């Protein structure tokens, strides 16, 4: 059978994927219809968890916060990465060296990034010291109003370099012939970007948008370390609330229902992105 | 592009200057962390002119389990990097080139799995590891991370950029399927393999939730969990030691990156087929 | 590149088989598994003398594992679910009730409590070990919240007489006195404030200190319902709001984390703070780490409740139902209550012994004596499993009040309503 060799290549990888990703998810869906505190036996309660979810204020706040992160980070990261990529593209010397440094924050564990930035944001830390030097009032960066932008800033610091390299690579792969043709057609800079360059970047932009969006939904560790979801519920994200519900409030069934909704949201994001930016590529994707 | 015009030289210098400013912005948090780690006080602000001490590092290396944690993290990360590089690239190739039933289904499944956070799968994975008597061992962290769906996806996307025309050219020259793999795909995939290895190494090293749940014995922990331990352990938060641990704990990934950075960064620099 | 990869593969194939055996303990006859939390630094090392003493006395082996507080409940839950629970586990008040409520995972320890009831320093604190008809945990030491002042700040603003008065057990001072004192100590132009409330920290304590001093509590005596909508709550909230409105708290205090408040105190920005619950930090670590800080523990004010109510926490031990040798486990717990171990805990760690007449070395230090007296007026943490969710609720409302977004009365009634909703989910 011709297909056999493909299955042979796929087997090891998908054995792990099934065991450690798929099977647990099926288990989670089953769990969402129960009431379970881990140390007790699961008790079947039908759709009660989902009905509770609809009225749960804190869940809605977590959803709002997660979407807020996405709304802030998607445009900012795409912009900063694009600008940095453009900078690299136009540089003549030392590109590799600069790129290496820009990539550096990504290399560090998110827990460590969170700890370092928490220290920076402390009411008596470096950033506030800087403000005091200019006689400005101290800012509480992790206050209710500022916590999400502050955490986003730390994430922008971390991810820009990494994403810029993807865009840079895509910029490089634009055939020179097309750029020369654009020159010959006397397109100005704006037209060049809008009609020639950006369309050719569609695959990369789609990929990055999806990656950033999913990344925003997966925000957990940085909030856990920097604020624990506070102040109040201001930085509580979907995963943080899910974690607290399951592990701190002993309501695994309810947390499982949240997980199910969470997964549906991720899938929804995927299809929205597909529609908006499209997945098409130069060499044809099987989609 | 066309910056080498009349204003060319000045333009180039300004760009270079901006690039340097960005470098400084990137490095400042690390410098602050370094300054705090080299101070006695353990507060979150230390003037740059304060005296320097290595006490925090000494405490870290001799009075805590930090060195052991580094070893644990290293073993886990290398193992995960290797399994991913092998298995994920194999699967990615199959998805990219293979015409077989279920290709699209597997792709959807893979992308779907990318969105599944470890927090959802962790309870069942732990129960599984316990039944296999593997909890508190390094394997309990290695196995769930052994194949990352993102790695499969990345591999597929990459291999798709290798035009099938190359494959056909090789086949016309008399190569079989296997020949295509070794003569065309593999050599062109060097950047992919490198990215997979380094990315998955770092993903494993930096992973927090899995070692958090799987390992409870202090001496089997990983560096990330250990650093978080320091912050939550007692009420006496000594930022100096925590910063020292944070910096040392990042050294391996930074060092690995520095060593391979030329090749790694270069891999982004290679465009596909040019016009 | 190929070479590197093949080298790594070989290395991996060599290491993998050994990683399986790393960390696995081979079962020996009579092993007691003990999970502790880091109530001291490096518990496996620090507790070794105590553990060894038991091992030698009873001829058994004790396996000690330390789990950080933040993960303790998750890990224990998972272990219990997987049938891998330890025999004896260190506990805190807030953590054990859920294990009893949802999984009947602990063994009742009424017999041990009966044995020590007349030997214990403060029988009133045993309330925190009691839930739904039985005692589930045994205290092995006490630690209390303490109020500390920065004596330099007091001296700077001409209030040095209070330094001695406040550490005199016979000196009675009330909330009004507290307010007046803090007002005199607040000088924002010097970046010095009287008191900072860590509004951004989602812990049980800071608010409870004030609630108890005001005469209130979170739950009714029998834990059947929350009692947050009381005049005590309003009193506590109003007082904190007053401190905030009069500028006695530094700006942003309502979103500060606990470590921020401690940092503010040790760097001389705050005149007075409550520090809990680890006196060893205050007694041993602070003088070394912050040599420029001159501080002194003081007696809390007498609150509207009529007493110097404060928060006392205990180190607790519990036995899980999965324990295969409960008698041995009980001996282990009783061993911690022996005078040798109680003295050791007092002298080595600076924690206050549970058994009367022990820890004399520690109590010679006047600073330590203040701590010990706190135990008299101490409240233990409420033990109902819903406290985890409810504390987030009341902390949220405290913040809203401090930010001026709602009145104390409205906050009290809203937090009661939410708490009632939440408690409904905890009936098993």
CATH architecture of C28-142+312-379: 3-Layer(aba) Sandwich (3.40)
The answer to whether the CB atoms of A123 and C256 lie below 8 A apart is yes
Predicted TM-score of the model (pTM): 0.80
Cα gap C370→A40, rounded to integer Å: 43
pLDDT tens, position by position, A13-67? 999 999 999 999 888 888 889 888 766 777 898 899 999 999 999 999 999 999 9
Per-residue pLDDT band for B4 (boundaries 50, 70, 90) equals very low
**If we measure between CA atoms, which residue out of A106, A83, A175, A103 comes closest to residue B266?**
A103
Cis peptide before C277 (omega within 30 of 0): yes
> A120 versus C204: which is more confidently predicted?
A120
Per-residue pLDDT band for B13 (boundaries 50, 70, 90) equals confident
Closest chain B C-alpha to C312 CA, distance in angstroms: 15
C-alpha distance across the termini of chain C, in Å: 59
The average pLDDT across C119-142 equals 88
Which uninterrupted H or E stretch holds C142?
Answer: strand C138-144
The average pLDDT across C74-99 equals 87
> What's the pLDDT at B214?
85
Alpha helix (H) ranges present in A91-125? 95-107, 110-121
The answer to whether the CB atoms of A230 and C255 lie below 8 A apart is yes
User: Could you tell me if residue B193 is left (phi over 0), alpha (psi between -120 and 50 degrees) or otherwise beta?
Assistant: alpha
Which uninterrupted H or E stretch holds C263?
Answer: helix C258-266
Instruction: Estimate the share of chain B in helix, then strand, then coil, as percent rounded to the nearest 5.
Output: 75, 0, 25
**If we measure between CA atoms, which residue out of B156, B157, B173 comes closest to residue B165?**
B173
> What's the pLDDT at A282?
29
**If we measure between CA atoms, which residue out of C401, C402, C425 comes closest to residue C413?**
C401
What single-letter DSSP state applies at residue C351? P
Closest chain C C-alpha to A249 CA, distance in angstroms: 6
Closest chain A C-alpha to B232 CA, distance in angstroms: 9
Q: Which residues of C234-257 are buried (b: 16+ CB within 10 A; e: fewer)?
A: bbbbbbbbebbeeebbbbbbbbbb
Cα gap A80→A153, rounded to integer Å: 11
Lowest-pLDDT range, A60-69, A83-92, C27-36? C27-36
Instruction: Indicate if the pLDDT at residue B10 is higher than 50.
Output: yes
- Mean of the per-residue pLDDT values for chain C? 86
Residues A33/A113, Cβ–Cβ less than 8 Å:
no
| ipTM of the prediction | 0.84
A115–chain C Cβ distance below 8 A for any pair: no
Closest chain C C-alpha to A145 CA, distance in angstroms: 10
pLDDT tens, position by position, A190-217? 777 777 777 888 888 887 888 898 889 9
**If we measure between CA atoms, which residue out of C283, C293, C294 comes closest to residue C366?**
C283
Per-residue pLDDT band for C12 (boundaries 50, 70, 90) equals low
Cα gap C243→C236, rounded to integer Å: 11
Cα gap A154→B29, rounded to integer Å: 10
What single-letter DSSP state applies at residue C189? G
Strand residue runs (E) in chain A: 34-35, 43-44
The average pLDDT across C16-40 equals 64
**If we measure between CA atoms, which residue out of C280, C300, C285 comes closest to residue C362?**
C280
Which domains does chain A show, CATH number per domain? Answer: 59-277 (1.10.3720.10)
Nearest CA in chain B to C12: B79
φ, ψ for residue C195 (rounded to 5)? -150, 145
> What's the pLDDT at B158?
87
Residue C358 CA from chain centroid, whole number? 22
Residue C27 CA from chain centroid, whole number? 35
Following DSSP, what letter does each residue of B209-253 receive, concatenated? HHHHHH--SGGG--HHHHHHHHHHSSS---HHHHHHHHHHHHHHH
> What's the pLDDT at B64?
81
Task: Kindly give, in sequence order, each residue whose CB lies less than 8 Å from that of residue B176, ignoring residues fewer than 6 positions away.
Answer: none
What's the CATH number of domain B64-269, 1.20.200.10, 3.40.190.80, 1.10.10.10, 1.10.3720.10?
1.10.3720.10
pLDDT tens, position by position, B109-133? 998 888 787 877 887 787 788 778 8
> C248 versus C10: which is more confidently predicted?
C248
- Mean of the per-residue pLDDT values for chain B? 83
C chain contacts of residue B89, beta-carbon cutoff 8 Å: none
Q: Which of residues 92-151 of C touch B (CB under 8 A)?
A: none
Cα gap C232→A128, rounded to integer Å: 37
Would you list the domain boundaries of chain B? 8-56, 64-269
A38 closest CB neighbour out of C77, C267, C386? C77
Closest chain A C-alpha to C419 CA, distance in angstroms: 13
pLDDT tens, position by position, B164-195? 888 788 778 877 777 777 777 788 888 788 88
Cα gap C403→C220, rounded to integer Å: 29
Residue C261 CA neighbour count, 13 Å, CB half: 25
A14–chain B Cβ distance below 8 A for any pair: yes
Size of interface B-C (CB pairs under 8 A): 105
Cα gap B74→C11, rounded to integer Å: 12
Would you list the domain boundaries of chain C? 28-142+312-379, 146-310+384-424
Instruction: Indicate if the pLDDT at residue C15 is higher than 80.
Output: no
C-alpha distance across the termini of chain B, in Å: 16
Per-residue pLDDT band for C1 (boundaries 50, 70, 90) equals low
**If we measure between CA atoms, which residue out of C240, C228, C241 comes closest to residue C414?**
C228
The answer to whether the CB atoms of B90 and A12 lie below 8 A apart is yes
Residue C171: Cβ-neighbour burial (10 angstroms; 0-12, 13-18, 19+): middle
**Measured CA angle at B84 (ends B79, B90), to 5 deg:** 140
Residue A214 CA from chain centroid, whole number? 5
The average pLDDT across C120-149 equals 88
Residues C250/C238, Cβ–Cβ less than 8 Å:
no
Instruction: Estimate the share of chain A in helix, then strand, then coil, as percent rounded to the nearest 5.
Output: 75, 0, 25
B52, B54, B56, B61 alpha-carbon torsion, rounded to 10°: 170
> What's the pLDDT at C27?
42
> A282 versus C328: which is more confidently predicted?
C328
Q: Which of residues 175-214 of B touch C (CB under 8 A)?
A: 190, 193-194, 197, 212-213
Cα gap B75→C202, rounded to integer Å: 36
Cα gap C86→C54, rounded to integer Å: 17
CATH 3.30.360.10 fits C146-310+384-424, yes or no: no
Residue C27: Cβ-neighbour burial (10 angstroms; 0-12, 13-18, 19+): exposed
The average pLDDT across C316-328 equals 93
> What's the pLDDT at A224?
85
The average pLDDT across C244-250 equals 93
B224–chain C Cβ distance below 8 A for any pair: no
Instruction: Indicate if the pLDDT at residue C145 is higher than 70.
Output: yes
Dihedral over Cα of B227, B232, B233, B237: its sign: positive
Nearest CA in chain C to B216: C67
Instruction: Estimate the share of chain C in helix, then strand, then coil, as percent rounded to the nearest 5.
Output: 50, 15, 35
Which uninterrupted H or E stretch holds C377?
Answer: helix C366-377
Cα gap C396→A232, rounded to integer Å: 5
C chain contacts of residue A114, beta-carbon cutoff 8 Å: none
> What's the pLDDT at C5?
66
Cα gap B256→B270, rounded to integer Å: 21
Closest chain B C-alpha to C280 CA, distance in angstroms: 10
> C155 versus C18: which is more confidently predicted?
C155
Cis peptide before C303 (omega within 30 of 0): no
B64–chain C Cβ distance below 8 A for any pair: yes
pLDDT tens, position by position, A129-171? 999 899 888 888 888 889 999 999 999 999 999 899 889 888 8
Cα gap C392→B195, rounded to integer Å: 43
Cα separations (Å) of B61 from A112, B68, B98, B205?
18, 10, 51, 19
Alpha helix (H) ranges present in C104-228? 110-116, 151-156, 160-166, 175-185, 205-213
A266–chain B Cβ distance below 8 A for any pair: yes
> What's the pLDDT at C3?
66
Following DSSP, what letter does each residue of A122-147 receive, concatenated? STTSHHHHHHHHTTPPP--TTSTTTH
Angle, helices B149-160 vs B103-114, to 10°: value is 130
The answer to whether the CB atoms of B232 and C69 lie below 8 A apart is yes
- Looking at mean pLDDT, say which of A2-16, A63-77, B90-104, B189-203 comes out highest: A63-77
**If we measure between CA atoms, which residue out of B47, B44, B41 comes closest to residue C289?**
B41
Neighboring chains of A (3 or more beta-carbon pairs < 8 A): B, C
Instruction: Indicate if the pLDDT at residue C146 is higher than 80.
Output: yes
> What's the pLDDT at C132?
85
Residue of B97, B124, B257 to mutate, testing the A interface (most A Cβ within 10 Å of its Cβ): B124
Cα gap C345→C159, rounded to integer Å: 37
User: Could you tell me if residue C404 is left (phi over 0), alpha (psi between -120 and 50 degrees) or otherwise beta?
Assistant: left
């Amino acid at each position: 059978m011709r297909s056999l060799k493909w299955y042979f290549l796929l087997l090891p990888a998908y054995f792990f994927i099934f065991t450690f990703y798929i099977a647990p998810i099926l288990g989670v869906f089953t769990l969402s219809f129960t009431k379970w505190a881990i140390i007790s036996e699961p008790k079947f309660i039908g759709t009660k968890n989902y009905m509770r979810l609809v009225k749960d204020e804190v869940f809605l706040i977590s959803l709002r916060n997660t979407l807020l992160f996405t709304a802030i980070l998607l445009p900012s990261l795409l912009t900063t990465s694009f600008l940095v990529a453009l900078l690299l593209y136009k540089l003549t010397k030392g590109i590799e060296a600069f790129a290496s440094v820009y990539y550096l924050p990504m290399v560090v564990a998110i827990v460590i990034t969170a700890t370092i930035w928490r220290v920076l944001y402390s009411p008596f830390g470096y950033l506030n010291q800087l403000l005091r030097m200019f006689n400005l009032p101290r800012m509480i960066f992790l206050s209710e109003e500022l916590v999400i932008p502050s955490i986003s800033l730390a994430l922008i610091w971390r991810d820009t370099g990494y994403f810029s390299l993807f865009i840079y690579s895509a910029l490089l792969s634009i055939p020179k012939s097309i750029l020369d043709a654009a020159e010959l057609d006397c397109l100005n800079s704006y037209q060049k970007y809008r009609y020639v360059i950006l369309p050719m970047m569609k695959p990369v932009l789609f990929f990055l948008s999806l990656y950033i969006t999913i990344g925003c939904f997966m925000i957990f560790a940085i909030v856990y370390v920097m604020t624990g979801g506070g102040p109040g519920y201001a930085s509580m994200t979907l995963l943080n609330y899910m974690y607290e519900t399951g592990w701190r409030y002993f309501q695994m069934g309810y947390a499982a229902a949240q997980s199910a909704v969470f997964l549906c949201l991720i899938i929804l994001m995927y299809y929205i992105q597909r529609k908006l930016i499209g997945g098409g590529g130069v060499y044809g994707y099987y989609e | 592009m066309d910056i080498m015009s009349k204003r060319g030289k000045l333009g180039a210098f300004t760009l270079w200057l901006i690039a340097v400013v960005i470098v400084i912005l990137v490095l400042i948090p690390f410098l602050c962390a370094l300054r705090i780690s080299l101070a006695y006080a353990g507060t979150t602000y230390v003037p740059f002119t304060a005296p320097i001490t290595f006490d925090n590092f000494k405490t870290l290396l001799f009075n805590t389990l930090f060195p052991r944690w580094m070893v644990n993290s290293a073993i886990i990360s290398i193992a995960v990097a290797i399994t991913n590089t092998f298995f994920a690239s194999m699967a990615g190739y199959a998805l990219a080139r293979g015409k077989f039933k279920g290709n699209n289904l597997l792709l959807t499944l893979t992308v779907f799995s990318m969105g599944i956070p470890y927090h959802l799968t962790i309870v069942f994975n732990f129960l599984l590891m316990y039944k296999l008597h593997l909890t508190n061992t390094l394997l309990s962290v290695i196995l769930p991370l052994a194949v990352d769906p993102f790695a499969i996806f990345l591999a597929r996307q990459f291999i798709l950029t290798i035009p099938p025309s190359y494959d056909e050219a090789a086949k016309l020259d008399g190569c079989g399927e296997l020949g295509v793999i070794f003569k065309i795909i593999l050599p062109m995939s060097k950047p992919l393999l490198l990215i997979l290895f380094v990315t998955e190494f770092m993903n494993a090293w930096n992973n927090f939730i899995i070692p958090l749940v799987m390992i409870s014995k202090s001496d089997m922990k990983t560096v990330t969990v250990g650093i978080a331990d320091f912050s939550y352990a007692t009420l006496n938060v000594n930022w100096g030691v925590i910063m020292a641990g944070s910096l040392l704990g990042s050294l391996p990934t930074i060092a690995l990156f520095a060593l391979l950075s030329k090749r790694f960064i270069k891999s982004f620099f290679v465009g596909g087929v040019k016009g | 590149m190929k070479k590197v990869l093949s080298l790594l593969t070989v290395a991996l194939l060599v290491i993998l088989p050994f990683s399986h055996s790393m960390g696995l303990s081979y079962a020996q006859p009579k092993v007691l598994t003990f999970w502790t939390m880091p109530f001291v630094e490096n518990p496996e090392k620090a507790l070794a003398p105590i553990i060894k003493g038991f091992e030698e006395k009873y001829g058994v082996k004790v396996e000690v594992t330390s789990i950080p507080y933040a993960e303790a409940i998750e890990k224990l839950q998972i272990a219990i679910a997987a049938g891998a629970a330890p025999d004896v586990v260190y506990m805190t008040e807030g953590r054990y009730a859920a294990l009893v409520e949802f999984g009947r995972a602990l063994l009742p320890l009424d017999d041990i409590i009966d044995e020590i009831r007349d030997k214990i320093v403060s029988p009133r604190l045993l309330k925190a070990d009691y839930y739904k008809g039985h005692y589930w945990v045994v205290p092995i030491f006490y630690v209390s919240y303490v109020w500390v002042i920065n004596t330099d700040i007091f001296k700077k603003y001409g209030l040095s007489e209070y330094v001695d008065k406040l550490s005199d057990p016979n000196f009675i001072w009330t909330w009004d006195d507290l307010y007046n004192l803090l007002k005199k100590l607040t000088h924002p132009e010097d970046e010095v404030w009287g008191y900072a409330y860590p509004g951004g920290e989602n812990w049980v304590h800071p608010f409870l200190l004030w609630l108890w001093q005001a005469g209130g509590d979170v739950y009714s005596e029998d834990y059947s319902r929350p009692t947050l909508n009381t005049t005590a709550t309003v009193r506590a909230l109003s007082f904190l709001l007053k401190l905030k409105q009069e500028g006695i708290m530094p700006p942003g205090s309502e979103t500060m984390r606990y470590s921020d408040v401690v940092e503010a105190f040790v760097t001389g920005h705050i005149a007075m703070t409550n520090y809990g619950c680890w006196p060893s930090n205050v007694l041993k670590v602070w003088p070394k780490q912050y040599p420029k800080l001159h501080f002194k523990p003081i007696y809390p004010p007498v609150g509207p409740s009529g007493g110097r109510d404060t928060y006392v926490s205990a180190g607790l031990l519990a036995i899980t139902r999965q324990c295969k040798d409960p008698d041995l486990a009980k001996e282990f717990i009783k061993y911690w209550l022996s005078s040798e171990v109680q003295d050791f805990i007092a002298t080595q760690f600076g924690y206050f012994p549970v058994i009367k007449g022990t820890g004399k070395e520690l109590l010679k230090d006047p600073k330590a004596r203040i701590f010990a007296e706190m135990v008299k007026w101490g409240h233990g943490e409420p033990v109902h499993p819903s406290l985890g969710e409810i504390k987030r609720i009341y902390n949220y409302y405290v913040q809203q009040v401090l930010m001026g977004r709602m009145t104390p009365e409205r906050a009290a009634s809203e937090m009661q309503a939410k708490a009632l909703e939440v408690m409904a989910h905890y009936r098993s």
